[in-house]
Structure 1
Amino acid sequence: MAAKEISLKLLVHKEKNQILYAESDKDFVDVLFSFLTMPIGTIIRLVTKKAKIGSMSTLYESLEDLDVQYLRTESCKNMLLHPKSASEDHCRNLVVNIDDRDPIEYYYICNSSVPLMSDTKHSISIGVPDKRCLCGSSMSRKRRKQKLKNGAGVGKDGVFVKGKMRYMITNDLQVSPVCTRTSLELLKRFGISDLSELEERNVNLGQEEVLHLLKHLLLSNTPLTDMFLPVQDSIEGVALILKFSTLDSKDIAQFHAEKEAGSDSKKMSLNLFVSKSRNKVLYAQVGEEFPDLLFSFLALPLGSVVKCLGGCTSMGCLDNLYKSVEEIGKKGCIKSEECKALLLDPVLVPYFGSMNQLIQINELPGKLTIFNCQSCLRNAISIKDSGSSTCLHGCETTIPVEVINPKFHDAVTELGGAFMEGPAMFMVSDELIVKPLSTISGISLFNQFNIPINDLEEHVVSVGEEEALSLLKSSLTSETVLSDVFLKKPGRRSSLELLRWVQLRRVTSARDVKT
């Protein structure tokens, strides 16, 4: 069977070798928007051979190299290296789906009689055999997840957007319905009056091209031109530059007072070893909670990252893409409110959150309703959702089951828990290389940077939600994360100060709208 492709029409400025915009139907826009549902760990796994994403790539490699004894269970490592998306069932209906996870998902159920007994509590283990069921039996029966006929994405509409519309996609990935006025405004914006300078080109995209597009989306302000016309001349894309304005000191004081009053989140402490002369963090000495926080970033969906950072990720055209969902949603182009939420406020799959996460992102409950069908349960698990009233065999009888939390060895179904085992001590470098603490490795690092002992000093810093957000932002764009967040550079705002500025602007803007 031939691999599926998506057609795209491009409007190109021939002399300047620049794509002004593209036109497509629902299929390409669905693929673009699906990037917002992807966990960071999935993106790193897919693009790391083509590009390095800040320090997330080294963080991911650190987890790959870390001995499993430092994690609570073997499942914890696999969960973070191959995180699940809450939109997986939707994304399997994309014309081109680049996620390389096995589309066949296996569940394990206990050895109780089939159908399951409705008067007994039962649980399911997803992907991990021989866990203990709530009824006390071992869950060793392997069953695949049964896809129901009325799954997501079926019909004339797309996976996320409505199907009868055609869309314009600018070079910096602003998506809007096709409109003559918008097209003419775009031509004026680029100073084009002679239409003979323009030409139409048609291209097709398969999996490899979509992977390249994901990379360019995160790293470039002109991803379409960079991808289809790789040799650029003079025109630069619209830069996503954060401009600072003067803020009233009273607003700043009130903002921080509100933050302190409303913050009851957990705090963790880091010991930073800093080169005074270079104003650089060499490494942090930390307990297991801090690597747990960092590794939990790999499970976060991209859309939730944009939301948490107030639409100011500074990652290529990612913020434009997120804003486009908001804008075309107002025009009724998103298929449903459920789809809009999947893109703008994606949640974590059950048990993919950590007790040390600090960042407030919702997590789905670990509860399912399955069809208690004897025919299904011989080979598969059919899960009831909002679009299904019976299983494939016509059975209407359902039974609630709870999913076992893979971060625990025992039969635990509550959310929470950590990925890392403790107590343990680690060293975390400026570029987020995580290793078990070794003073010899620390001395070798000092030698590597030619740092004399008298140039070292120790800083003790505290990490709460605000610092965690700043770490998340810097880890996506920088290779000196700890220095950017915790050390102030001469003539530059620290990453933490930039984040505070963004948050303050959001607060003051919201007040202005209300008044």
Structure 2
Amino acid sequence: MTAKEISLKLLIHKEKNQVLYAESRNDFVDVLFSFLTMPIGTVIRLVGKQSKIGCMSTIFESVEDLDVEYLESDSWKNKFLYPKSAAEEHCRSLMVNIDDTEPTNYYLCYSKFPLSSYYNHLASTTRSNRHCQCGRTLDWKMPIAAGNGKNGVFVKGKMRYMITDDLQVLPLCMGTTLELLKQLGISDATVLEERNVNLGSEEVLHLLKHSLFSKMPLTDVFLPVQDTTDGVTLDLKVMELDSKDMAQSHTEKESCSNSKNMSVRLFVSKSRNKVLYAQVGKEFPDMLFNFLTFPLGSIVKCLGGCTSMGCLDNLYKSVEELGNNDCVKSEEHRALLLDPKLSPFLGCTNQLIQIKELPRQLTIFNCSYCIGSGTYITNGDPGKCSHGNEKIQLELINPKFDAVTELGGEFMAGPATFIVTDELLVKPISTISCLALLNQFNLPLSDLEEQFVSMGEEQALSILKASLTSKTVLSDVFLKKPKKLGRRSSLYS
């Protein structure tokens, strides 16, 4: 099968060797916006270890190195390293889909059709010894139907769009083009050149990487002098958005506030005003590892649109504006991008930043004809199939428990104690490792000071923010006063 490609038309400034903007159909915009639905753990895995995203990559490496005995289930390691996207059915309809995560399969009991309606039918996302209420084992694998990509995946088809070098996406019109050229100080059209290019999986992967690290990703991908993101670390040292502003931005949009708190024991170098490490229970790693399941769009939302990650904020802002211009397919699709949920049961009781999980309303076609033709599970309301047979609703089992369908639960087994370094490297506690940190920084024992802090949602948001852009997260959050971040200008009025 020939690999699919997307066609783009670029406008290039010949003298500056810079892409000013691209023109495309909805297929390219759909791919760009799909970045917002990707869990950051997936992004870290795709862009590779050489391009580190602050300390978030360190969290990822901590999970890789963690012995599974510290997890409630052996399968949880892969759920952090290969987190599912709540929009996976939609993204399967993308012209180019770079997410290599295995699609979710569901396991039911093997029954003859039609199914009985006298008891609830259970489904599991993992093959196991769990049993349905009818007594049979849940080991019959069934896929879920892909989303409808007709007339676009996220934005409406048959429209053309302008994508600027810093990934602002706008409906294509001459007025916007002239405004952009005016902003760039271009009055002579002879310096401009048109170029047609095609994008496959390799180019989209490069674009994802550059969208996180660069302010001009189109130029970096299509007119590269060298791949500046190889071996690069996202450590921008930018002015921080005030943590109270972030907490307010997040909680204003949530229906209920999160009042949980967590106790953290810090060991601080007095002379350097630096946290060497924190001694914590299982709750803190539970929270950090859960970050890897957060979609990029949710992170942007939590941080008030100021992540300091390349052009990610521009993509998010573009969805807001295109939604206002009736370019997004529906409110449901708009929410998938601006308020993406966690995939079912990836939420965590110990998470101080409560991002909601996608409510699954799984139904199965209770029809031997549909099953025989390959039509299995759908995500939607019960109703009738085309043969007039009723669909039956399934109850999805929470994999953190044996036979529970409610949300909640923990990933880490306990009780256990861990050390977390300033760059968020998580390890089981070892006093020898703690003393090695003192030797690493050439510090005497007398320089070490113990501090106890209580953290809630405000501090958790600050840790999330700092983990994207810093290599000294705990020091930045607990010892340094954050500064406010200025807003970036855009073509949107």
Matching residue of 1:508: none
TM-score relative to the length of structure 1: 0.85
Matching residue of 1:418: 410
- Shift in alpha-carbon separation, 1:290–1:193, aligned structure 2, 3 A: same
Matching residue of 2:128: 129
- Shift in alpha-carbon separation, 1:224–1:399, aligned structure 2, 3 A: same
* Cα distance in 2 for residues equivalent to 1:17 and 1:388: 55
Amino acid at match of 1:27: D
- 1:384 is displaced (CA, Å) by 3.7
Maintained 8 Å contact 2:122/2:395? yes
Matching residue of 2:143: 145
Corresponding residue to 2:420 among 410, 424, 428: 428
Percent identity, aligned pairs only?
A: 64
* Cα distance in 2 for residues equivalent to 1:420 and 1:272: 21
Matching residue of 1:229: 223
- 1:113 is displaced (CA, Å) by 4.9
* Cα distance in 1 for residues equivalent to 2:468 and 2:238: 16
* Cα distance in 1 for residues equivalent to 2:283 and 2:337: 29
Amino acid at match of 2:206: H
- Shift in alpha-carbon separation, 1:447–1:379, aligned structure 2, 3 A: farther
Amino acid at match of 2:145: K
Maintained 8 Å contact 2:363/2:378? yes
Maintained 8 Å contact 1:425/1:436? yes
- Shift in alpha-carbon separation, 1:407–1:377, aligned structure 2, 3 A: farther
Deviations 1:206-231 (A, max 9, x none): 11111111111111111111222223
* Cα distance in 2 for residues equivalent to 1:419 and 1:4: 38
Residue 184 in structure 1 maps to residue 182 in structure 2: no
Pairing of 1:85-100 with structure 2 (within 5 A): 85-100=85-100
Amino acid at match of 2:418: F
Maintained 8 Å contact 1:213/1:227? yes
Residue 335 in structure 1 maps to residue 329 in structure 2: yes
Matching residue of 1:471: 463
Say which is worse superposed, 358-367 or 42-51, in terms of deviation: 358-367
Pairing of 1:359-398 with structure 2 (within 5 A): 359-365=353-359, 367-375=361-369, 382-386=376-380, 390-391=384-385, 394=387, 396-398=389-391
* Cα distance in 1 for residues equivalent to 2:413 and 2:173: 55
Maintained 8 Å contact 2:60/2:81? yes
Amino acid at match of 2:478: F
- Shift in alpha-carbon separation, 1:70–1:389, aligned structure 2, 3 A: same
Amino acid at match of 2:142: R
* Cα distance in 2 for residues equivalent to 1:366 and 1:160: 20
Deviations 1:191-247 (A, max 9, x none): 112211111112111111111111111111111112222239xxxxxx9976999xx
Residue 117 in structure 1 maps to residue 111 in structure 2: no
Amino acid at match of 1:145: P
Say which is worse superposed, 394-403 or 117-126, in terms of deviation: 394-403
SS state at 1:307 partner: helix
Matching residue of 1:402: 395
- Shift in alpha-carbon separation, 1:403–1:272, aligned structure 2, 3 A: same
Pairing of 1:112-511 with structure 2 (within 5 A): 113-140=112-139, 142-147=140-145, 151-154=147-150, 157-231=151-225, 265-365=259-359, 367-375=361-369, 382-386=376-380, 390-391=384-385, 394=387, 396-408=389-401, 410-488=402-480, 493-494=481-482, 498=484
* Cα distance in 1 for residues equivalent to 2:440 and 2:374: 55
Aligned-residue RMSD, C-alpha: 2.8
- 1:348 is displaced (CA, Å) by 1.4
- Shift in alpha-carbon separation, 1:244–1:374, aligned structure 2, 3 A: closer
Deviations 1:106-136 (A, max 9, x none): 3222255544321112211113322233444
Amino acid at match of 1:106: N
Matching residue of 1:54: 54
TM-score relative to the length of structure 2: 0.89
SS state at 1:428 partner: strand
Matching residue of 2:491: none
Deviations 1:251-290 (A, max 9, x none): 99xx89x99xx95511001111111222211111000000
* Cα distance in 2 for residues equivalent to 1:356 and 1:166: 44
Matching residue of 2:230: none
Maintained 8 Å contact 2:30/2:154? yes
Matching residue of 2:233: none
Deviations 1:428-471 (A, max 9, x none): 11111111011111111211121211111112111111111111
- 1:365 is displaced (CA, Å) by 3.3
Say which is worse superposed, 410-419 or 359-368, in terms of deviation: 359-368
Residue 66 in structure 1 maps to residue 66 in structure 2: yes
* Cα distance in 1 for residues equivalent to 2:193 and 2:217: 19
- 1:386 is displaced (CA, Å) by 4.6
Maintained 8 Å contact 2:114/2:367? yes
Amino acid at match of 1:194: D
Maintained 8 Å contact 2:363/2:380? no
Amino acid at match of 1:152: N
Matching residue of 1:45: 45
Amino acid at match of 1:60: F
Maintained 8 Å contact 2:106/2:124? yes
- 1:395 is displaced (CA, Å) by 5.3
Matching residue of 2:32: 32
- 1:390 is displaced (CA, Å) by 4.9
SS state at 1:460 partner: strand
- Shift in alpha-carbon separation, 1:146–1:309, aligned structure 2, 3 A: closer
SS state at 1:322 partner: helix
How many residue pairs get matched?
471
Matching residue of 1:106: 105
- Shift in alpha-carbon separation, 1:332–1:111, aligned structure 2, 3 A: closer
* Cα distance in 2 for residues equivalent to 1:390 and 1:423: 49
- 1:420 is displaced (CA, Å) by 0.8
* Cα distance in 1 for residues equivalent to 2:414 and 2:477: 26
* Cα distance in 2 for residues equivalent to 1:158 and 1:405: 32
SS state at 2:179 partner: helix
Amino acid at match of 2:222: F
